[in-house]
């Protein structure tokens, strides 16, 4: 069975600091997809990134970067020069593809608070 673990329940950093959110996953599939979603106080989940299991290249998008390592089953998310608007709950999610439904299995989330 697939599982996503986000061990960090809450993180607080001072504005402009860098912060890394950890995500560890379990799956028996060789083909799968990993996602990060942001849930701001308004509650609506916002898609951030999707990576497939065959692409281990790190990705950078502005202040956001993602480090995917199959050897450690991790897909960590780093925010550089954090801003108050980054305060939200962040979810890592996994989708296995062999059953054809692509349902998402989410972790429990990490609540990130950026202190001005």
Q: Say how far apart CA 47 and CA 112 lie, in whole Å.
A: 16
- For position 41 contacting other proteins by CB under 8 A, the verdict is no
Please check whether residue 58 is in contact with residue 69, taking contact to mean a CB–CB distance below 8 angstroms: no
Nearer to other proteins, 75 or 107 (CB): 107
Burial of 9 (0-12, 13-18, 19+ CB in 10 A): exposed
- For position 97 contacting other proteins by CB under 8 A, the verdict is yes
The stretch among 19-27, 47-55, 63-71, 80-88 that binds other proteins (CB under 8 A) is 47-55
**CB 15 → other proteins: shortest distance, Å?**
25
Query: 72-101 burial, b if ≥16 CB within 10 A, otherwise e?
Result: ebbbbbbbeebeeebbbbbbbbbbbeeeee
Q: Across the strands, what pairs with 31?
A: none
When binding is defined by CB under 8 A, the residue of 35, 66, 68, 75 that contacts other proteins is: 35
**CB 81 → other proteins: shortest distance, Å?**
25
The stretch among 15-23, 59-67, 75-83, 97-105 that binds other proteins (CB under 8 A) is 97-105
- Give the interface with other proteins as residue ranges (CB under 8 A): 4, 33, 35, 37, 42-47, 50, 52, 91, 93, 95, 97, 99-109
């Amino acid at each position: 069975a697939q599982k996503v673990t986000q061990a960090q329940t809450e993180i607080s950093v001072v504005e402009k600091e860098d912060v890394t959110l950890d995500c560890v996953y379990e799956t028996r599939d060789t083909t799968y997809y990993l996602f990060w979603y942001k849930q701001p106080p308004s509650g609506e989940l916002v898609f951030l990134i999707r990576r497939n299991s065959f692409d281990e290249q790190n990705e950078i998008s502005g202040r956001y970067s993602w480090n995917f390592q199959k050897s450690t089953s991790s897909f960590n998310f780093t925010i550089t020069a954090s801003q108050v608007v980054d305060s939200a709950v962040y979810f890592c999610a996994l989708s296995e593809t062999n059953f054809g439904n692509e349902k998402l299995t989410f972790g429990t989330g990490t609540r990130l608070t950026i202190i001005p």
